[in-house]
Structure 1
Amino acid sequence: MADLSETPIPYAGGHSGPMRVLLLHTRRGVIAKAGVTIGIDGAHYHQRWGRAAFEIPADKPVHVAVSQGSGQIGVASTVLSPEQPAELEYRGPAALYLAGSIGAPGTVKQRGCLLQLAIFALAPLMALALVIVLGVLLSR
């Protein structure tokens, strides 16, 4: 449910029909850029992480896209139909080369957590193996 105390960012698409407020909550991934770029039907808004409210048409589908920084990092997008609740959550990925996730609040998962865990767990093991191999080679 949109917090009515937030002033929504006006819709830039030139729509004269009924409007509603989209509440978008953006959450950082393990590694994240300083902010996010939110696209609403092609208009782009640079925002900080957290909550943002946007005015959107109530009577037509709206394309919502989120990326990190001002580039193509962690991109996720969806089309919000008039029948769907006007609340979305974006979750940044665990690695910047992966896509983000967007959907209904509580349904999005962070992509790449197992990959990051494997990388961070294997790096010390690889370093230890290298030390052992070098120790064996140098002791000869």
Structure 2
Amino acid sequence: MTETPIPYSGDHDGPTRVLQLHTRRGVVAKAGVTVGIDGAHYHQPWGRVAFEIPADKPVHVAVSQGGGQIGVAATVLTPEQPSELEYRGPAALYLAGTIGTPGTVKQRGCLLQLAIFALLPLALALVIVIGILLSR
């Protein structure tokens, strides 16, 4: 399936190419992402989206959630680089996302989330046991 790319909104008369961007949710994610291409912002659902970009100059690509303040990740795509990127949302909304070549990005905060979810029940159990012991 070939999708029609979103046209480049900057001032550019030279050759173009198509950026394929694949956005993947983190453990906790907002409803969609905001993609910035050289300062122009596009609100998009999670998944794949195509953008027309200049083929002869570097392009700044940024992705975020929650109106641009959550899970921010950015890169500059040079004409020599392949025009395919992957964004991965973080496991916790206060962390940055990651953006890069598909298959190379990792989700930030997974170990932290695992520690929180694993230790929280243990801490709660400890509080209950201490409460029982103190009430005797």
CA distance in 2 between partners of 1:100 and 1:33 (Å): 13
Q: Count matched residues.
A: 136
CA distance in 1 between partners of 2:59 and 2:46 (Å): 21
Which residue in 1 is equivalent to 2:68? 71
User: 76, 84, 88: which one pairs with 2:85?
Assistant: 88
SS in 2 for 1:77: strand
CA distance in 2 between partners of 1:83 and 1:115 (Å): 36
Q: Which amino acid aligns with 1:101?
A: T
Q: CA deviation at 1:122?
A: 0.5
User: 28, 32, 47: which one pairs with 1:35?
Assistant: 32
User: 102, 112, 121: which one pairs with 2:99?
Assistant: 102
Q: CA deviation at 1:70?
A: 1.0
Which residue in 1 is equivalent to 2:7? 10
CA distance in 2 between partners of 1:68 and 1:112 (Å): 16
**TM-score if structure 1 supplies the norm length?**
0.96
Deviations 1:33-71 (A, max 9, x none): 000000000000000000000000000000000001313
Which residue in 1 is equivalent to 2:128? 131
User: 29, 50, 57: which one pairs with 2:47?
Assistant: 50
User: 13, 23, 27: which one pairs with 1:26?
Assistant: 23
SS in 2 for 1:117: helix
Q: Could you list the runs of 5+ residues in structure 2 that have no partner in the other structure?
A: none
SS in 2 for 1:11: coil
1:117 aligned onto 2:114? yes
Q: CA deviation at 1:72?
A: 0.8
Q: Could you list the runs of 5+ residues in structure 1 that have no partner in the other structure?
A: none
SS in 1 for 2:76: strand
Root-mean-square deviation (Å): 0.7
Percent sequence identity is 77
CA distance in 1 between partners of 2:67 and 2:24 (Å): 16
SS in 2 for 1:9: coil
Large movers: runs of 4+ above 4 Å: none
